[in-house]
Amino acid sequence: MPQRKRSLLNQFLIWKYKHISAENFLYILSVLIGLLAGISAVTLKNLTHYIFVALETGFIKDVHKGFYFIFPIIGIGLTLLVIKFVVRKKMSHGIPSVLHSISKREAIIDRYQMWASLITSPLTVGFGGSVGLEGPTVTTGAAIGSNVSRLFHLDQRSRTVLVACAAAGAVSCIFKAPITAIVFAVEIFSLELTMISMIPLLLASISAVLTSYFFLGDEVLLHFEIKDRFELSDITFYIILGIGCSFVSIYFTKVYFWMQDFFKKIDNQIYRLLLGGTLIGIIVYFIPPLFGEGFDTMNSVLMGDASSILENNIFNSEAENIWMIVGLLLGLIVFKVIAMALTFGAGGIGGVFAPSLFIGSVSGYVVATVVNHLKLASTNLSLSNFAMVGMAGLLAGVLQAPLTAIFLIAEITGGYELFLPLMTVASISFLITKRFIPHNIYTAALAKKGQLLTHDKDKSVLMLMNINKVIEKDFIVIKPGMTLGELAHNVIVKSKRNNFPVVNKDRELIGLLHMDDIRSIMFNTDLHDTTFVRDLMIAPEDVIDYVNDSMEVIMEKFKITGAWNLPVIRDGKYYGFISKSRLLNAYRRKLIQASDSIA
C-alpha cells in the first residue's frame, strides 16, 4: 500500500525541525501573533464605531436622547442572544479567563474565544454599555496566541509566552504604546522578564503597533499635548490626587464586586437583563456622557474644558457655578462605576480599562478645579496635566499595575515631563488601595481559589502543576463490613499497595486501613471471621479536596501531617490518593521546565 501523503502542516513541521531552531521559531510566531492581535484590535474597535455611528444617523438622531434609555438593554440583549445561540459557551469578561487558562489549563484557551468577543463586545459597547473594549481585545488576542501555538505543537512555556505576546500586542495596538504593552504583560501575567520572554514580547508589540499605524494612521484614542510644565511646587497637590485616586479605586472595586455578587443571586438571566439594562438606560438617559466607552468625554477633559460634557446635565441647567460643575463631575465618577458594574451584571461583555481611564481623568480634573478655585496654589494648576495623571492614579489603583499606568501615560504624552508626578500619584494610589483591596479585579477570584500566578517562583511552579497528573487511582476500595479473612484472601493478595480506602455504600470516604496496622494479626485465622474492617480502620491524617485545594494548600497539608499518602475526595466522594514522592517529583519536573522563565 502506498504511504499516505503527509499533510502540508506535517511537512512544514518536519522542515521546521530541520531548519529553524525552537528559539527562532518562537520569535517568528511572536511577530505573527502581534500582527493578528493588532488586526483583531482594529476589527473590534471599528465594529463598535460602526454600530455607534449607525445609532447616530437617520431618524434615530432626531430622537436620540430618548433612545438612550433603550439602547443599552437592546445591546446587552443581543449580546446574550449571540452567546446563547451562536457561541453556545459560557463567556467571561476577558483577562481573568486568560489568567485562569495560564494557571490551570496550561495556557490552553478555547477556540471560540478567538471570535466570540469580536461580536459580543461591539454589541455591548456600541449600544451604550458603559464598559471598555480593552479586556475583550486582550482575550481575543490571547486566544489567537494559544491556538496558533497549539497548531504548531509548542510546549506549555512557549504557549504561555505567546499568550502574553498577544495580550501585549492588543494593548500596543489600542494605545500605540509598545513599551506599556510589555510592562502590562509582565505585571498582569506575572511573567519573568528574561530574554526568553523579553524578545518575543518586544517583537509582538512592534508588530502590533505597526499594524495599528497601517490601518488607523496617526489616529489615537487620547488626544493630549503637554502645554504646561510640571512645577515642583505642585507636588503637594499631586500627593492629594494620589490619595483621592486610591479612595476612588477602592470605591470602584467594592461596587464592582458587590454588584457582581448581587446579580449572581438572580438565577433568571432575563430578570438580570431587565433589571440591569433598565437601570443603565435610566443612568445614561440622564447622564449622556456615560454612554459607551467615553473617550470623547476623556478627550474633552484632557483639553482642560469640561463644559461640553456638562451641557445636558440631569438638572437641565447651565453649569456656571463652580460647585455645580464639581458636583456634576463627581456625579460622573459615582455613576460611571455604577453603570459599568450594571453592564457586567446584566450580562454585557467588556472590560474595566476604559472606565478606569474615564474616572481617573475626571478625578484629576476635579482636584485641579477645586484647588484653583480656592487659590490654594501659588499659580493655577494645569487641568490637563492633572486629568492625565489622574488616569495613571486610577489604573494603578484599580488594576494594581502601577508601572503599566506610569508608562502608558508617559507614552501617550510623548515624553517624560510628567514622570515625577506620574510616579508619585501611581505609587500612592497603588499602595493605599493594596492595603484595603489585596487583589485587583482581574485576579481576585483566582486568588480566592488559590489559582493566581505571582512573581514568587515557588508559588508559581505549584500553581502550574496539574493535580490530575499526581492523583493515583489504583487503590482497592474496601467496605467497613468486610471481614479480616475476606480482606486477606480477596484484597491484600491482589493489591500492590499498603493503603486501602474504606468507603460506605455512597462511596464516601469513612476511614483508611494501613497494611502495617494489621500485619501482626493478618494470618491469625481465629480472627478472620470475627474481626471486621470497621474495627481496624483509622481516620486519615487529612484529606485533599479536589475542587477547592490548590497545590500550595496540598503541599502544606503534607508538611503539617508528615503523611506520605493523603486521600483525595471529589464532590464528597473518594477519588484517589496523592503521594508525597509523586508530588515532589512532579514539582521538580515543573521547576526544571520553568527554570528559564515562569512563562
CATH code for the domain of 467:
3.10.580.10
Same domain, 37 and 151: yes
Q: Is 227 among the domain residues? A: no
Which cell numbers hold the place of 377? 496654589
Q: Is 369 among the domain residues? A: yes
3-state SS record for 421-452: HHHHHHHHHHHHHHHHCCCCCCCHHHHHCCCC
pLDDT of residue 318: 55
Last residue of a domain, one of 160, 181, 216: 216
Same domain, 408 and 487: no
Residue indicated by cell numbers 457582581: 260
Same domain, 441 and 463: no
What strands, in cross-sheet order, belong to the sheet with 544-545?
A: 471-472, 573-579, 565-570, 544-545
Number of domains in the chain: 3
Q: Is 2 among the domain residues? A: no
Ordered mean pLDDT values, 10 residues apiece, the chain (599 residues): 59 81 90 94 91 70 63 90 88 76 79 91 89 89 91 85 91 91 85 74 94 84 76 91 96 93 90 91 85 83 76 57 83 93 90 91 93 88 92 94 90 79 95 91 69 55 72 88 84 82 90 83 80 86 86 84 89 89 78 52
Q: Is 443 among the domain residues? A: yes
Same domain, 55 and 174: yes
| Residue 479 φ then ψ, to 5° | -105, 150
Same domain, 463 and 435: no
Same domain, 187 and 106: yes
Same domain, 296 and 442: yes
48: which residues sit within 8 A by CB, 6+ positions away?
121, 122, 125, 126, 133, 292, 293
Direct distance between the N- and C-terminal alpha carbons of the chain, in angstroms, rounded to an integer: 45
Same domain, 436 and 468: no
Beta bridge partners of 68: none
Last residue of a domain, one of 216, 247, 275: 216
Q: How far apart are CA 99 and CA 396, in angstroms?
A: 19
24: which residues sit within 8 A by CB, 6+ positions away?
none
Q: Is 123 among the domain residues? A: yes
pLDDT of residue 165: 93
Q: How far apart are CA 372 and CA 384, in angstroms?
A: 13
CATH number at residue 320: 1.10.3080.10
Same domain, 160 and 72: yes
- Per-residue b/e over 406-415, b at no fewer than 16 CB within 10 Å? bbbbbbbbee
| Residue 595 φ then ψ, to 5° | -65, -30
pLDDT of residue 3: 42
Q: Is 401 among the domain residues? A: yes
Q: How far apart are CA 346 and CA 123, in angstroms?
A: 13
Q: Is 552 among the domain residues? A: yes
User: Count of alpha carbons within 13 Å of 484, Cβ hemisphere only?
Assistant: 21
pLDDT of residue 33: 94
Last residue of a domain, one of 152, 181, 216: 216
Which cell numbers hold the place of 393? 492614579
461: which residues sit within 8 A by CB, 6+ positions away?
587, 590, 591, 594, 598
- List the domain range (segments joined by +) for residue 526: 458-593
Q: Is 224 among the domain residues? A: no
Same domain, 443 and 464: no
Same domain, 238 and 210: no
Name the CA dihedral angle for 333, 334, 339, 341, rounded to a multiple of 10 degrees.
Answer: 110
532 DSSP 8-state letter: B
User: Count of alpha carbons within 13 Å of 48, Cβ hemisphere only?
Assistant: 31
Same domain, 111 and 61: yes
Helix (H), strand (E) at residue 567: strand 565-570
